[in-house]
Chains A and B, each alone.
Chain A
């Protein structure tokens, strides 16, 4: 197992180096001078320009600049945001929980509906439920989620007036974050009205972000289940006279879930890409909106470090999924 893990990590090293090269190259590939780009619309005085060039090491040979950049990143120095003047890592730490909370609830939404629906469709293969579920899943999979979000706002916020249009929580509530999850923090402080406010802000974005994973999970669960239901050991379990619920729920499901777990892990990249759109629509203060805003503000330090941090997260999650997969499925480890 340890060998498997080390092997996996070793394979990631080139990708890791590549990610830092991409982030490093990003600022240098921008049209125009990097210092002027970083200075923004106000520009800089010539003396200050030289000073900055010295400070950021732009007068060094390119490989030394890269080594310097890697050194900074490795020691946790991700630069200072041009627009807010705060360290990028600090901003990231305050915004990331918002994205995490949104993604978590989106995933819960997708799994709670997707897995049972997929199982049921597989068991009732060919029924009207199966057909309409697969049809709906394909619609969900084809959904432009930015439009889906707007539609939900029109209906639930505009027409019914049930949910707020944007943000994470009502402006009247303010408390020091404990976990960074508004829903949990409000409960920890024992503020029910704050909890309700947080939940009502969360529900639409979570549905929007969870829609594509829901479609993917439902389809994947169905096909994994169909495959398993045809296996010998399921037939044996049936022949032993076990109840249909036990055969499906215990014998089949446990094996069918293996590919589903992998699918769920692979949705992390999709979730983060979806978060860019979802957070923009609902003005959700997470890292997706932060990236888009920074692109428009020309805050390239944030874009550069955000790109790096997000890629690192995706990489780490994929590693965890790989390892989990090997834990559940010993055949993988041997390979």
Chain B
């Protein structure tokens, strides 16, 4: 996975198609990233087509089949490929539906954190002065708490549930984006093209959004990918602690929580949901590494 000398990608390539091609060229050098992307696409497909793929509905209970082991183990049958949980629900079906929740969590959290972070980072980096001080001190404050603890406390205030958990996680992840955007804006602000746009009469909004922001995108995309996997992990952790998605939602962390007391009797109820989380997070992190290699030569792992 360690790829040697890669020439930095020409910044601001005017030709979009060649830009994409160059991007794919650098991205595909990283074998792990391509595998990660492939797994991620499979996950998206699984989430989209869960109703077609899943043999059962996620919440249907078979009262004749409590804690059935997976098909390949003695006592298991192909009726329930990955076995059943303590109330007789098919684990495979629940995992497939669970992919929807994990991807939704990732997408919603990253969207919220990105929007908030970009807005605050732009304001702080562009206007500086007291606006900057006020915003960045609040960001420092959020970062002073261990992220999971802060998310826990926020959920305590908002009340447990998937949506509140997403809000809390977005708030906790958001300072990373704000810092990144602020630093990038400060670096870009004094460049000639920005000054030129200013002289040409561009207003504050235009300067911020149309002139400066597009040139800060590369690190944002990388951070966004990493936050996507972080969000999934933290939401699963909250679900596991009983403060995220509530049963019977087939969210993977929540599934683990309700399986906990059976760990010494039925390994499969615990193993598969966690494996699903690990594979998803790993795939996204692999893609993140590849994106960093392709988009941001400065951040590239040596």
Query: When A142-B281, A144-B278 are in contact, do A292 and B241 touch as well, CB less than 8 Å?
Result: yes
Question: In chain B between 252 and 302, which residues have their CB closer than 8 angstroms to a CB of chain A?
Answer: 253, 256, 260, 263-264, 267, 270-271, 273-275, 277-278, 281-282, 285-286, 289, 301-302
Closest to A157 in B: B264
Residue in A131, A269, A274, A291 whose CB lies within 8 Å of B2: A131
B-chain residues with CB within 8 Å of residue A165 when the two chains form the complex: 264
A18 at the interface (CB under 8 A from B): yes
Q: By the criterion CB–CB under 8 Å, are A14 and B277 in contact?
A: no
- In the complex, the answer to whether B278 meets A138 with C-beta atoms within 8 Å is no
- Once bound together, how far apart are the Cα atoms of A292 and B155, in whole Å? 12
Spot the interface stretch: B78-86, B115-123, B136-144, B206-214: B136-144
- State whether A15 and B146 are in contact (beta carbons under 8 Å apart), knowing that A223-B301, A292-B152 are contacts in the complex: no
**A37-57 Cβ-contact flags toward B at 8 Å (1 or 0):** 000000000000000000000
Q: Which of A153, A270, A303 contacts B146 (CB 8 A)?
A: A270
Q: CA–CA, A162 to B233, complex, Å?
A: 29
The answer on a CB contact under 8 Å between A141 and B285 is yes
**Cβ of B152 and Cβ of A276 under 8 Å apart?**
yes
Q: How far is the CA of A274 from the CA of B229 in the complex (A)?
A: 16
In the complex, the number of residue pairs spanning A and B with C-beta atoms less than 8 Å apart equals 140
Residue from B1, B149, B236, B242 in contact with A273 in the complex, judged by beta carbons closer than 8 Å: B149
**Interface assignment of B200: CB less than 8 Å from any CB of chain A:** no
- A126, B152: Cα distance in complex, Å: 41
The answer to the question of B147 belonging to the interface, with a C-beta cut-off of 8 Å to chain A, is: yes
**Is A277's beta carbon under 8 Å from chain B?**
yes
Closest to A23 in B: B153
Judging by beta carbons under 8 Å apart, are A273 and B147 in contact? yes
Chain A residues with CB under 8 A of B241: 276-277, 280, 292
Interface segment, one of A24-32, A77-85, A178-186, A234-242 = A24-32
Residue interface mask B104-145, A partner, CB < 8 A = 1: 000000000000000000000000000000000110110011
Chain A residue at minimal CB-CB distance from B259: A150
A139-158 vs B, Cβ < 8 Å mask (1 yes, 0 no): 10111101110110110011
Name the residue of chain B whose CB is nearest to the CB of A307: B153
> Is A273 within 8 A of B148, CB to CB?
yes
Q: How far is the CA of A109 from the CA of B170 in the complex (A)?
A: 32
Measured between alpha carbons, how far is A273 from B242 in the docked complex, in Å? 16
Interface residues of A in 240-263 (CB under 8 A from B): none
Bound CA span A125–B302, Å: 10
Q: A131 — which chain B residues lie within 8 A by C-beta?
A: 1-2
Q: Is A22 an interface residue (CB 8 A)?
A: yes
Contacts of A270 in B (CB 8 A): 146
The verdict on A134 contacting chain B, using a C-beta distance below 8 Å, is yes
A270 to B156, CA, bound (A): 20
B240 within 8 A of A: yes
**Known contacts A26-B153, A147-B256, A150-B263: A269-B270 contact under CB 8 Å:** no
> What are 24 contact pairs spanning A and B, CB under 8 A?
A15-B141, A18-B137, A19-B141, A19-B144, A22-B141, A125-B2, A130-B2, A139-B282, A142-B285, A143-B281, A144-B233, A144-B236, A144-B277, A147-B275, A150-B256, A151-B274, A154-B263, A158-B263, A273-B149, A277-B241, A291-B149, A303-B153, A310-B145, A314-B146
Residues in A lying within 8 Å of B, measured CB to CB:
14-15, 18-19, 22, 26, 29-31, 125-126, 130-131, 134-135, 138-139, 141-144, 146-148, 150-151, 153-154, 157-158, 165, 223, 226-227, 269-270, 272-274, 276-277, 280, 291-292, 295-296, 303, 307, 310-311, 314-315
3 A-B pairs closest in CB distance = A147-B274, A273-B146, A18-B141
- Knowing that A147-B273, A154-B271 touch, tell me 7 more A-B residue pairs with CB under 8 angstroms: A26-B157, A147-B270, A148-B274, A273-B146, A273-B147, A307-B153, A310-B149
